[in-house]
Amino acid sequence: MEQARRSLLRWLLGGGFSASIISFLYPAFRFMSPPEVPEASINEVSAGKVQDLKQNQGRIVKFGNLPVLLVHTSAGEWRAFSAVCTHLNCTVQFRESSSQIWCACHNGLYNLNGQVVSGPPPRPLDEYAVHIRGDEVVVSRRA
C-alpha cells in the first residue's frame, strides 16, 4: 500500500514537474530562435529604380503601414512626403498639370515643400528623406 502510494507520488511529482518544465522551456527556446523576418522597425524603404519615375511625376510608396508620396520634381530633385492628408486622412496624389500635391477629398492643395497652399488642410505634410543609391531610390525617415 505504501509502495503504491509512493510510486503514485513519484509519478505525479516527476511527471508533473517535467511537463511543467517543458511547458516553460519550450516557449523560451522558440523565443530565442530568430523569426522569419529578423528586423523590427521600418526605417527605410526601397522605392524602385531612378528610371521608373520621370521628372514632374509622383508615386505612392508603402512605408511600413502608411503611404508616402515620392515626387521627382521638374528640377530633378527627389522629395518624399507623408501621403496622409492632414485634413481628414485621405491619401493625397501628385498633380502633374500644376506640379502640386492634391487631395481629392476636399480639394486641399500642398506645394512641393509639403506646405498648404489652399483648401481645408490645417498642417503641412511631414517630409521624408530621399537618397539615391546607385540607381535605387531609398526613402527613409528624417533624423
Partner 1 sequence: MKRALAVLVFTTSVSAADTCVECHSVLDGNLQAPAKAFSNDVHSRFGLSCADCHGGDRTASDPEQSMSRAKGFVGKIPRTAIPERCGHCHSDAAFMQKHKPRQRVDQLAQYRTSVHGKRLAAGDTAVATCIDCHSVHDIRETRDPLSPVHPLRLPETCARCHADAGHMAKYKLPTDQFAGYRKSVHWEALAQRGDLSAPSCASCHGNHGAQPPDVASVAAVCGTCHVMMEDLYKGSPHAPVFASMGAAGCVVCHGNHEIKRPGIGMLAGPNAVCSQCHDSDSAGGKAAAEMARQIGSLDKAIQKSDQVLAVAQQSGMEVSEALLRQREAKEALVKAAVAVHAFQPAAVQKPVQEGLAITTETFRAGVSALNERRFRRIGLGVSLTAILITMLGLWLAIRAIDGRKHDRETA
Partner 2 sequence: MTETPQTLAWFEERLGLASMRKFLAHKTVPVHAGTMWYYFGGITLFLFVIQVLTGTLLLLYYRPSPGEAYESVQFIMTRVQFGWLVRSVHSWSANLMILSAFIHMFSVVFLRAFRRPRELTWLSGIALLGLALGFGFSGYLLPWNTVSYFATKVGTDMAAAVPGVGHYIARFLRGGNDVGGATLTRFFGFHVAVLPGLTTLLLLAHLALVQKHGISAPRWAEEEYERKRMPLPQMPFFPNFFLRELMAWYAALGVLGSLAALFPWELGIKADPFAPAPAGIRPEWYFLAPFYTLKLIPSHVWVFEGELVGLLGFGLLALWWVALPFWAVDRKGIERTRWVTGAGVLLIAYLTTFSALGYWR
| Footprint of partner 1 (CB under 8 A) | 5-6, 8-9, 12-17, 19-20, 22-24, 65-66, 87, 89-91, 104-107, 119-120, 122
Place of cell 523590427: 40
124 contact, one of partner 1, partner 2, none, CB 5-8 Å limit per kind: none
Give me the least distance between CB of 9 and partner 1, in Å please: 5
Q: How far is the CB of 84 from partner 2 (least distance, A)?
A: 14
Give Cα separations from 123 to 40, 70, 117 (angstroms): 30, 19, 10
* Nearest distance in Å: CB 104, partner 1: 5
How far apart, in Å, are the Cα atoms of 36 and each of 26, 33, 132? 18, 10, 28
- Residue 122: contacted member of partner 1, partner 2, none (CB under 5 to 8 Å, by partner type): partner 1
Nearest to 71 by CA among 57, 91, 54: 57
